[in-house]
Amino acid sequence: MQPTFYVWAKWDDEAKVWYTAETSIRGLLTEAETMEGFRERLKLVIPDFLEDQMPARAVLHIIAECDDELSPVVAKSGKGGRSRRTHLEAVPRILVDRKIRSRHLANRILKEAGIGKKF
């Protein structure tokens, strides 16, 4: 089985860059203006950073986080063309890797997200 390296990327709206917020590779820090640029940079930096500890093959798993402000939405009704104001409800969303096989891990992720459902 190939080792997997995890990188949590976060968007810095002020600097307009994606940066390494957390990683499974201790001390690894990098940034780029686009997510594609961030991915490509990691592909170059990780082997160089790990040097002789770099395995022959590995998987890079990037988890990206970007906070956007939501504002009220004006929706048109079907009758008479009148507008009505609606609000987007903040719904907690989590992204979970589809390859997770352990129901225990899935349940832990759901619990940490505040979701009462269990598998």
What's the pLDDT at 4?
93
CA dihedral over 6, 97, 12, 44, signed as positive or negative: positive
Structure tokens at 60: 């890079």
**What does pTM read for this prediction?**
0.57
Q: What is the tens place of the pLDDT at every residue in 41-60?
A: 999 999 988 988 889 899 99
For residue 87, CA distances in Å to 73, 83, 91, 94 come to: 6, 13, 12, 21
Mean pLDDT, range 114-119, rounded to an integer: 75
What's the pLDDT at 26?
87
Give 117's pLDDT tier (boundaries 50, 70, 90).
Answer: confident
Q: What is the tens place of the pLDDT at every residue in 69-104?
A: 767 665 555 555 555 555 445 555 566 566 666 667
What's the pLDDT at 113?
73
